[in-house]
Every structure is written in structure tokens, then in C-alpha cells.
Chains A and B, each alone.
Chain A
Amino acid sequence: MDGPSVQIQIILKDGNVRQVERMLASLEQAVMLSRDVFQHVGIYMSDCSKAQVLSVSEIDALRKKYRSLDIQYKFSSTSTKARLYNLAAQNSPFTYLVLCSTVTVFPPAFLLSLPGWFTDKQTACVEVRTIPWDNSSHFDSSSRKAIFFTDNCTVFRRDVFHAVGGFDDQHFPSYRYTADLSIRLLREGYQILYISDISVFQEAIPEYPEYGADDKKESTSLSDTIEDLSLLYKYDCQEELEHLLAAYKMSPLLGEVSIYQQFEKQMSENLLPLPVTGISEDLQHHICTLCSVH
């Protein structure tokens, strides 16, 4: 492709067919308004068996209705989110990757604004604010620079995504993969921006089942906590990690004792990520804050 192009990767984790239709209607408008800017916009939707949003007939109907869009639909029953994003980006020829963790309705000016976010070559990715639920506290409100990004709606330069090796889906398969990549990007000298003057609409349903049919987790919180501990371990937050492990070990609750036991087991079996040294105190502080360790 000669001109710039965009791949919009959406995980249909939450939502229903009517919300997907609203999303496609918004994309149709955004693509039409940006046709002079982008040579190609590809819409990639991933569905899974536990939380399947669209039936085959619904997909066909949507493709017919929005025939001006290049819609790709993939059904997956084996991937975690980090793995799925990596697979989506693997052979992507697009200039930009838009990663959305749930059904997203885009504002008309979304694609028009996108190139402007990357005028600084050091910008690796931008996270776009979501409404109606906004929880933006991890960025500098004036410079827009952020320490971490989430995968709610994040736009990547695809070449940077490939250069840093994408998400670590082995050690952070479903929770802290964005935090891990954020730290790697910052260490490589890239910057992350948070866009607050434009927003996308996302509405997650909290009770929805976790993505990935083959996840044999004992519980969501347990695996998430293990990822937190792995993050502290990887980035050399040794003191905080020890305090936290001690607290879990002595906890009166069975679930927390299990966390300690499982982490110890992973450590003894060398399943944890390789530790990285030379992390600045500031960054370590941010990691601890992210993991709510004080």
C-alpha cells in the first residue's frame, strides 16, 4: 500500500448485535470522511465462543448492509486478548493499528484526527478517551503524555509495535500486557499520548465472561494478581513484591494463600519473566501505583 492505512481490530467481548451495528454505522461515516487521508481502512472483528456476539447470519447481514466497509470477521476460541492482538498485528501491512477491547462507536472525526496524533516520531501509541465511563488519571493533562495505556481504544504505529515485539502474551496474557508493553516502550525512548479532546464510546458489561474459552483459570482475580506479581518481579520492585507475598502468605483467606502458593510454584519452575534491571525509581513507583501497592 502506498498511502497510509489503518487496521481497526475490535474484540467483540461485550455488547450485542445492535451495538455492533451502531459501531459499523459510525465507522462507515468515519471512513467516508477520511477517504482523502487513508488509502485503506480494514475492520477486523474477533469473536469467541464464551461470549459470542454475532451469529453467522448476523455477520452476513451486516456485511451486506455496510458493503462500503472492508469487514473481516474471525471466530476464535483459543486466544487471550494479548495473543489475539499479536496475531492480528503479525502480518499486518497497515500503517496504524487501532486496538479496541470491546464494541466501540467512533466519532465521525476519529480517522481524520488520527494522523495528527503521530506528528512527533517518538509517539509510539495513543490512547483515546472513552465515554461514558471515563477513568483517566494516568496522564499529564497538558502535555498529554501518559505513563501507561490500556487497550480500551489504543492506536499504534504498526512498525513500532513490531519493533518492540508486541505484547508479552506468555507472561501477561490477559491483564497486564498493556502495562508491560508501556514500560518497554518508555524504556526504548518512545512516548505514549492520551487523547482527551476526542473520545470514543464504549460500554463494557461488567458481568460478561472473560475472553478466551480455553482459559483454565481458577478465578479471574487469581490470575490477574499473579500477573501483578509477575510485573513487580520483572521490573525489579523486589521490596514491594516481598511485602506483598508475605501478606498473601499470612492472609486469613484461602484465595490469597493460593495466590502466594501459585506464584512460588511458578518461580520454582522458572515460569516467571526474566527480570529487567536498571529500572528508574520513578518508573518502579508508577508500577507499584498501577498494581495498587503502597
Chain B
Amino acid sequence: MAALTGGGQAIFESFLENVPLEKGDFFMQLYTQESTSQAELAASFGLHYLAVAPGGNKGCIDCAQFFEDADLLDEATGGKPIAVIYVEPLLAEDDWISPLLKIFSEHVLCRDTVLLIGTPNAGNLFTAARLLDGRLSEEDRYCLRGFSEKALLDLLAACGFTCEEKSGLTFDRESERARLTASDSIFLSPGSDAFSFIEKLKAVSDQELYTEQFCWMCRPAAPCALKDKAVVSPFLSIVMRTQGTRPAKLAEVLLCLSAQTCTDFEVLLIGHKMDETGRQHTQALIERQPGWLQSRIRLIEVSYGNRTTPLNVGYTAAGGAYICTLDDDDLVTSDWVETFYDLANQNPGAILHCYGYAQPWREVALENGTVGLVSCGPVNSGYCIPFHMVDHLRVNHSPTTVYALPSYLFYQCGFRFNEDLTTNEDWELLMRAAFLCGVSDCDRRTSIYRLWNIDSSRAAHSPQEWEKNRQAVIGQLESERVLVTRPEQLLTDPPYKRYSARLYIDAGMGLSEKYSFESYCNMCGTFLRFAFSLEDLVVDLVSLRIDPGETGDIGVRSPHIILRYRDEREKIYAAADLESNGLFCCEKESFIFLQPDPQFFLSDIDDLGIPAEVEFTGHVFSLDEDHRQWAKSEMQKKEEIAQQEKDLSAILPSEYSEPIKEEPVESTHQKKGQKKGLRTFFRARTDRR
């Protein structure tokens, strides 16, 4: 591959055909090692040809003199303007070109000068794939001497030029793919997921992945320095939509922000379709904030589009390294920004995900004519869970306050919210981003998603609209091609999931919530072990109940309850000693629980003293269809027996109606507890924080 011929020349000619050129003006070629003379091209447009090169080789003017005095160019052209500057191929080693262009743009060029620039695309897909494979072709090595699209744009900006028209030579995709097929590398085989993922990644950050050579037409512009993000940008950009119609709620969000322990953030308050009253309320609210916060708030008004539009406006205007959405009626804790900041330091580039609560709230009309805001239920920890990729494929489990996205996705990769979606737009974008960046989790609870009785996006859109949008997102997700770097986020049950169990003790007054103890354990394979300390107990146990988790459709094999006494004796109770609200399969020494909330009961406790510890062990397994069938047939048998008993007692006089020994499995022990009477008096500390 060498300098452009054929197609490339035609592109530059077509550029010039559409530019008004004065005959007699100059056509300057910056002559590189691999250039071919463009004197004929200049002549065909009636332009004088001038070549510039280092050292004045091949009859060119030495570029060095222009570094000393740019006005010498006027002498060289006799005062005639430079109409066209031609650089092709621009290669990375030609490091004299960009300083020269900068000098020309600042001192001698007029706005009408055209810069034609051609360079191989160092960022093309096929070279990228072969780089990963490690086997570069000669063409690849040549491409790597050129520039990627972004690098070329940056270089032009630094020289004081802007690209006016882009064109180029593209790869013949089919022939390139055919060439790759012969390869023995997954990076170079179009059928492999690895290649597809490379193709996807390239497409995210680079729209020119199939371009072999760039052919651009540029114009001088005011020179500008490249933006130094590290110096001027905050860590987090908080995008907040508002219509100015709920100032009391907005005031609370701003109060939360004024309490942030990490102040490295900016707030983009996007006023969407605000009326005059809303505008006044919002501006007054901003003006009342403490000075440090005021200086971080930008109010941007958007008068068009749907509710997704202001998000795109905000995310595009954001200057932070990360961006998040905060609704103008939610609440965040004082370490909300700090948590994102810490996470970003640990996992830069990943989506930052923390935990959050939901809570029902309502507005109340007060006698003084104002509106009060009141919570009407406890916080719900439904969003206090790690990010789970598979769960998110069907339903969004992440309110916007629990995550922040790298801004790179927006300012470099062109990510935008899908404005065709009137709801679920946040979920769709989150998933697109998650497939690329991965998600980094933190279990700090930093936000409250407030569920309002009125005036919420949930109520503003019909269930049908929500479902339609949900299906659209699912359709989009199903078409995604992804590589997974964190398989644990795909597992339904993470391998080291933390389980909790609860022990209820009966010391003569029945089982009650008050005398219950919690224990946690990490599941090791299928084995569970919970230990409950009873150091505070002062009387003998009559019976106990253990609830090993809340999930149904499980089996527990070989369960044991061990009572350890203060004199170091211990008593072990095996499966045969236990009862449950499930079904016992004697052959397999297993209990089957079809329903949620499995419970084990131990009633005949030997009188060995006061136990200091209770331990529960067992192997948990998921039920298969055989288990379920067996359990259903057993249930049916029990129902039949119960019915027979009922029929018998209806026929016989009461003195003959002996109860059938086998009782229904469920609730036997709950009845026991009730007979003895649950405590009437119990206390809970609900009034303390």
C-alpha cells in the first residue's frame, strides 16, 4: 500500500470541483517520503504548484525557513494566496507537518484555504483484529503509521483546522472477511464470538472501522488547545430533569446534595418544558443554595422532545468523568457521591453500582395551605442487591440513583438514550453500557427511590406503554452480542451466596418472633451450616424451630440439629428426629419443600440442661421433576387420608372417631405453639433510628 491512486485521487478531485478556486492561486503540496507529485492535479485546476519538504529535496522549498519566518511564504508565492494545501500520505513519522500547518493557520492562511489530507486508518477493524492475533500484514504495518479518526481530529484541532468533509477508501468487507476465514485464529475468524466482539467494540468507539484510508477536506479554524479533562472536569456529573412543578421535592434533593461529603461534582439541572412559574421557582431555589453548590449547578432549558430528550441534553453537556441521573424527587445519603468516587478509584472504567432503598411517600395538604411530604411506609431493601446481569435482561432492577456511567460512553462512543422509548430508556442504556464496561458493585446503601402516590412517571404512563417499551428493550437486548468477563453476574445463585436462617425457641410459652435468633453462613458447594448462640438463655428448651432461608422448591438432604450444652456435652438430632412443613423422603433422608419458607421442628428435646449453642447443618439441592412428582403424589395421599378421617368422624359417634395417627405435615407445630399461647406482650424498637 502506498500513496493514493485511483479512488483516492478521484475523491480529492471531487472535493476541489466543489470549491471556488481562483486561477493563479497556489496549490502547496507538503511532500512526504512516500508522496507522489500532484503538479498535474494543481495544473488541472489552473493553480500554481508549490512543493515543500524538509531539506528542500526533490526541488521542494525547505520547510525549515517557514519555522523561522512564516511570512517568507508570501515571498515564495509573490503575495498570491494559498488556495490548497495537499498532504498525502500523512504518516506519524512526518512530525514536521503538524507544526508547519499550525504556523500557516495562525499567520498566513485565509479562511478559504482548503487542506486536503490523506492518511491510512490506523484504527481499522482488520488491523485491530490482526494486532490481537499478533500476525500483522504489510498493509497493517502501513496502516499503523497513519492515524485513527480521533487522533487525526485531535491533530487537526491542535493545528488550527477543522474537518469540513470526510470521505475515504473503504475495505471490501466481504473479501477481507474471506481472507480472515482462512486463518486459524479466533481473532481473525468472522464466525467466532471473539471477532464479533472486537467488531462490536470497535463500532462503539470508532465509526470508521471499515475505512482503509481517510480522505478529508479541512479548513483553517481558530486554533484551540486540547481540553485537559483532569484539570477542569469534576468527577461526577449529576443530570437532573425537572419541570419546575415540584419545588418542595427539588429543594430536598438539593439539600441532599448540599450535604455531600465529596463535592467533586457538577449538577446539570435540565429544565424540560418549564413554564414561567416553574422557571422562577427553580431559579429562586438555585439562588438560595450555598455558594459552593450554586457554582456547581447549571440550569439548561429544553423546550422540545419527550422525557428522554433532557437526559440526552444533560449527558451531552456533562463534563464529569462519570455521569448519573438523579430524579428531582428522590433522596440520597451524604456519601452518595463519595461512594461512586471510591468505587471509581477501585475499578476505573466500570459502571459504578451501589445499593439503594425504595420507600412509599405521599403528599399531604396542610391546614396552612402548603403541601407536606410524608413517608407512608418503611424503606424497602429490594434494590440492596448486587448487579445481576441475567436478572436485568428481563426487568430493570436498578433505579437511576444506584449507578453512574463512564462519560467516555457519551463523549467518545456516541451513546445516547433512545428517544423512541418513553419509559425504560434508562434500563436500555444501562444494559448497553453494562455489556461493554462491566459493573462494579458496592454494598453501601446510598439512595432512596421514592414511590409517590401521585405525580410520578409510573402513573404518567399506562401499564400498556410500560410493557410495550419493556418488550422493545428486551428485543434490543436479545439482539446484542456480548462477551462476559464476570460470569458470576450471570449465575442465578452466586457460588458464595450468603444465606440466613432463623431459630425460634420455645421455653414453655410457645414459639414467638421475640425469642428468635438469626444466623448467616456462606454456602460451600451444597452444604449449609448455621450456628446460633444461646449464651443469654436461662431456662430449658421445650422445642425449637429452624427456618433455613425463605426459598421454596428446594430439598434438604441429611439435616442435623446439634445442641451444645454449657458442660460441653452435645446432642445430635438426625433427619428421623425432625419434623418439617415439607415432606420427608425416608429413602433419601431428604426433606422436600415445594412451598417457600421451609421450617424444621424439634420437639422432643432431651433434658440435658440449658444449651449454649444450636447448630443446623444440611445439604441443599434444587428440585427436579421427579422430586416434584413424588411430592405431589405424597400430598395427594395425605389429603385422601385427611378426607377419610373427616368422613369417618361424620359417620361415627364422637366416642368412636379415633384420630388417624398420621397428621397433615403442615402446621402441626404451629398449632402446638398456639396451644401454649404466644406472648401477648412484646416490644419492638420501631421508634428509634
Cβ contacts under 8 Å, B680 to chain A? 243, 294
Q: Are B290 and A25 in contact (CB under 8 A)?
A: yes
CB-CB under 8 A for A131 and B261, given A29-B288, A196-B374, A253-B515: no
Determine if B291 is an interface residue (Cβ-Cβ < 8 Å). Answer: yes
CB-CB under 8 A for A291 and B683, given A16-B261, A26-B258, A144-B366: yes
Give chain B's interface secondary structure class: loop
A253 contacts which of B288, B333, B537 (Cβ < 8 Å)? B537
Determine if A276 is an interface residue (Cβ-Cβ < 8 Å). Answer: no
Determine if A244 is an interface residue (Cβ-Cβ < 8 Å). Answer: yes
Determine if A135 is an interface residue (Cβ-Cβ < 8 Å). Answer: yes
Q: Name the residue of chain A whose CB is nearest to the CB of B331.
A: A132
CB-CB under 8 A for A201 and B289, given A107-B255, A142-B365: no
CB-CB under 8 A for A292 and B683, given A252-B507, A254-B536: yes
Cβ contacts under 8 Å, B256 to chain A? 131-132, 201
Determine if B292 is an interface residue (Cβ-Cβ < 8 Å). Answer: yes
Which residues of B in the span 251-299 have a Cβ within 8 Å of any Cβ on A? Answer: 251-252, 255-256, 258-261, 288-292
A25 contacts which of B258, B371, B505, B507 (Cβ < 8 Å)? B258
Determine if A206 is an interface residue (Cβ-Cβ < 8 Å). Answer: yes
Q: Shortest distance in angstroms between B681's beta carbon and chain A's nearest beta carbon? A: 5
CB-CB under 8 A for A196 and B364, given A25-B258, A132-B332, A132-B448: yes
In the complex, A221→B688 CA distance in Å?
A: 11
A241-259 vs B, Cβ < 8 Å mask (1 yes, 0 no) = 0011001001111110100
Determine if A215 is an interface residue (Cβ-Cβ < 8 Å). Answer: no
Q: Are B366 and A196 in contact (CB under 8 A)?
A: yes
Q: Are A257 and B538 in contact (CB under 8 A)?
A: yes
Q: Are B290 and A108 in contact (CB under 8 A)?
A: yes
Q: Are B686 and A252 in contact (CB under 8 A)?
A: no
Q: Are A292 and B259 in contact (CB under 8 A)?
A: no
Q: Are A201 and B334 in contact (CB under 8 A)?
A: yes
A203 contacts which of B259, B370, B536 (Cβ < 8 Å)? B259
Cβ contacts under 8 Å, B536 to chain A? 253-255
Q: Name the residue of chain B whose CB is nearest to the CB of A246.
A: B681
Q: Are B371 and A197 in contact (CB under 8 A)?
A: yes
CB-CB under 8 A for A22 and B288, given A132-B256, A141-B372, A293-B681: no
Interface centre among A18, A131, A206 (most CB of B within 10 A): A131
Residues of B whose CB lies within 8 Å of any CB of A are 248, 251-252, 255-256, 258-261, 288-292, 331-334, 359, 361, 364-368, 370-375, 379, 447-448, 505, 507-509, 515, 536-539, 679-689
Q: A144-B368, A197-B371, A197-B372 are in contact. List 20 more A-B contacts (CB 8 A).
A: A19-B261, A22-B258, A22-B259, A28-B290, A107-B251, A109-B288, A132-B256, A138-B687, A141-B364, A141-B372, A144-B366, A152-B689, A196-B373, A197-B248, A203-B259, A224-B688, A244-B683, A247-B682, A253-B538, A292-B687
Chain A interfacial residues counted at CB < 8 A = 58
Q: Shortest distance in angstroms between B333's beta carbon and chain A's nearest beta carbon? A: 6
B375 contacts which of A136, A252, A290 (Cβ < 8 Å)? A136
In the complex, A221→B683 CA distance in Å?
A: 12
Q: Shortest distance in angstroms between A119's beta carbon and chain B's nearest beta carbon? A: 9
Q: Shortest distance in angstroms between B263's beta carbon and chain A's nearest beta carbon? A: 8
> Closest 9 interchain pairs by CB?
A196-B372, A252-B507, A105-B259, A108-B288, A132-B331, A134-B375, A141-B364, A18-B261, A252-B539
Q: Name the residue of chain A whose CB is nearest to the CB of B334.
A: A203
Residues of A whose CB lies within 8 Å of any CB of B are 16, 18-19, 22-23, 25-26, 28-29, 33, 105, 107-109, 129, 131-136, 138, 141-144, 150, 152, 195-201, 203-204, 206, 221, 224-225, 228, 240, 243-244, 247, 250-255, 257, 290-294
9 pairs from A and B in contact (CB 8 Å cutoff): A19-B334, A22-B259, A22-B261, A29-B289, A109-B251, A129-B373, A132-B256, A203-B334, A204-B689
In the complex, A16→B365 CA distance in Å?
A: 37
In the complex, A170→B379 CA distance in Å?
A: 35
Cβ contacts under 8 Å, A109 to chain B? 251, 288
CB-CB under 8 A for A292 and B539, given A142-B366, A252-B505: no
Cβ contacts under 8 Å, B373 to chain A? 129, 196-197, 199
Q: Are A19 and B259 in contact (CB under 8 A)?
A: yes
Q: Shortest distance in angstroms between A233's beta carbon and chain B's nearest beta carbon? A: 15
In the complex, A185→B379 CA distance in Å?
A: 31
A292 contacts which of B288, B538, B685 (Cβ < 8 Å)? B685
Q: Name the residue of chain B whose CB is nearest to the CB of A139.
A: B374
Cβ contacts under 8 Å, B684 to chain A? 292
Q: Are A244 and B259 in contact (CB under 8 A)?
A: no
Cβ contacts under 8 Å, B508 to chain A? 252
Q: Name the residue of chain A whose CB is nearest to the CB of B336.
A: A132
In the complex, A24→B528 CA distance in Å?
A: 51
Q: Are A252 and B515 in contact (CB under 8 A)?
A: yes
Q: Shortest distance in angstroms between A231's beta carbon and chain B's nearest beta carbon? A: 12
Interface centre among A28, A33, A198, A200 (most CB of B within 10 A): A198
Q: Shortest distance in angstroms between A248's beta carbon and chain B's nearest beta carbon? A: 9
In the complex, A22→B251 CA distance in Å?
A: 16
In the complex, A228→B682 CA distance in Å?
A: 13
In the complex, A16→B261 CA distance in Å?
A: 9
Q: Shortest distance in angstroms between B312's beta carbon and chain A's nearest beta carbon? A: 28
Q: Shortest distance in angstroms between B533's beta carbon and chain A's nearest beta carbon? A: 12
B331 contacts which of A131, A197, A292 (Cβ < 8 Å)? A131
Q: Are B509 and A250 in contact (CB under 8 A)?
A: yes
